[in-house]
Structure 1
Amino acid sequence: MTDLSTDQICYFGYGSLVNEETLPAGTTVIAGQLSGWKREWRACSKGKAGHDGFAGMSKCALGVRRDEDSVIRGAMVLDTKANLPALDKREWHYSRKSLQEDRFLPDCGRQMPSDTFLYQAQDQHAYWGDEEHPILQSYVDCVMAGFHRLWGQEGLEHFVETTDGWDRVPILTDRAEPVYPRAVVLSQTLTATIDDLLKSVNAQYLTR
């Protein structure tokens, strides 16, 4: 692996950060897989005004835990250090965790920097979502659109199959009026595909 330049950062996205539409202009997204971490619906918070745009709403986002037997797909993002404060603000209820070298395997075989990190939910926020802290459907759509862009149908299936908590954390149906500040517009085909996949894991829904 190579060292980063002094004005560059490199981090692993496993949820909304996989979707290039949510990232600053000029970033480089490198698809691949990370070993030793498991994705789950266990990162709850109440939005802070000026932080993530949720205006005080409680919700559940994606988190990760260490698991030596797990491999998850996601994306390494190369960005400028100048964007780090804004990124930390976006991920305000997460902490940066350094990644071990060689845990990320890029799909393209590209040589990766040695100094990389991901965001893990802080202990006070690392609990399972529930009816008071639901998953936003608009957030799920954004995440899955990112996986679809990188890996197509296989990526969608992988995301659903390798994420814990679908059977215990309800999804708030806000697609028609998105609460998530980085919501994306999906094609009818992709919308139907996502809905079918979530049915396969017995996802439960709440109406607004």
Structure 2
Amino acid sequence: MTDPFFFGYGSLVNRATHVFSDAHPATLTGWRRVWRHTRLRPVAFLTAEPADGVEIEGLVAHVPGDDWVALDEREAAYDRSVVTDRVGHAVPRPIEVQVYSIPSGKHGVPDDSHPVLLSYLDVVVQGYLREFGEAGVARFFHTTGGWDAPIRDDRAAPVYPRHQTLSPDERALVNDWLREVDARVIA
């Protein structure tokens, strides 16, 4: 019998945004993160897509009560794919791992009407920093596509519902990386 787990690669890496206690660092081979939007949400967010030669870090977490319903609600814009054989982890029991992603044809490229929220990006980077250190943050930026997406600076009045408070050093780290990837931050 295998336990159902999911691979989180965005805000779910930040343990302050959820209550999944059975969560473990992991890697997913053959996939990358990319910024996208769908008509189901007014802003852009991360999705994962197959990509040869790429490995991304994240967390695997046990699906609460072995029931996907609540998690599917949180991740309503996504479909699930089984990726068990592509995930490296240290969970000491057999697990089946699925990843949420937006399938081709159901998403678009972010634009000024559908920007990335800086409050969301802050949460993601804070999670990678806490789980994988500054080297993990660098890998996050290098293995994520779509940095030409506009990023709306909503830090003063966060729109992202699971926003977190960042320390001055964490904010500076995010800002430095946004300059590194030539991101366009809009008011």
Instruction: Bin the TM-score by the shorter chain.
Output: over 0.9
In the TM superposition, residue 192 of structure 1 has moved relative to its aligned partner by 0.5
Match of 1:44, SS state, is coil
Match of 2:161 in 1: 181
> How far apart are the structure 1 equivalents of 2:103 and 2:159?
23
Whether the 8 Å contact between 1:38 and 1:67 is mirrored in structure 2 is: yes
Match of 1:15 in 2: 10
Match of 1:190 in 2: 170
Root-mean-square deviation over aligned CA pairs: 1.7
In the TM superposition, residue 196 of structure 1 has moved relative to its aligned partner by 0.4
Matches within 5 A, 1:80-159: 80-81=64-65, 84-101=68-85, 103-106=86-89, 109-111=90-92, 113-159=94-140
Identical counterparts, % of pairs: 33
Matches within 5 A, 1:156-175: 156-166=137-147, 168-175=148-155
> How far apart are the structure 2 equivalents of 1:113 and 1:45?
37
Counterpart residue type for residue 23 of structure 1? H
Match of 1:52 in 2: none
CA separation of 1:89/1:189 partners in 2, compared to 1, >3 Å: closer, same or farther? Answer: same
> How far apart are the structure 2 equivalents of 1:162 and 1:112?
29
Match of 1:34 in 2: 28
1:44 partnered with 2:43: no
User: Which stretches in structure 2 are left out of the alignment for 5+ residues?
Assistant: none
Whether the 8 Å contact between 2:87 and 2:97 is mirrored in structure 1 is: no
Aligned length: 187
Of the three residues 47, 53, 67, the one matched with 2:51 is 67
In the TM superposition, residue 82 of structure 1 has moved relative to its aligned partner by 6.0
In the TM superposition, residue 17 of structure 1 has moved relative to its aligned partner by 1.1
Query: TM-score, normalization: structure 2?
Result: 0.92
> How far apart are the structure 2 equivalents of 1:84 and 1:154?
32
Which is worse superposed, 157-166 or 118-127? 118-127
Match of 1:51 in 2: none
CA separation of 1:46/1:205 partners in 2, compared to 1, >3 Å: closer, same or farther? Answer: farther
Match of 2:62 in 1: 78
User: Which stretches in structure 1 are left out of the alignment for 5+ residues?
Assistant: 48-57
Deviation readout 1:33-56 (Å, 9 max, x if unpaired): 110111111243443xxxxxxxxx
Match of 1:140, SS state, is helix
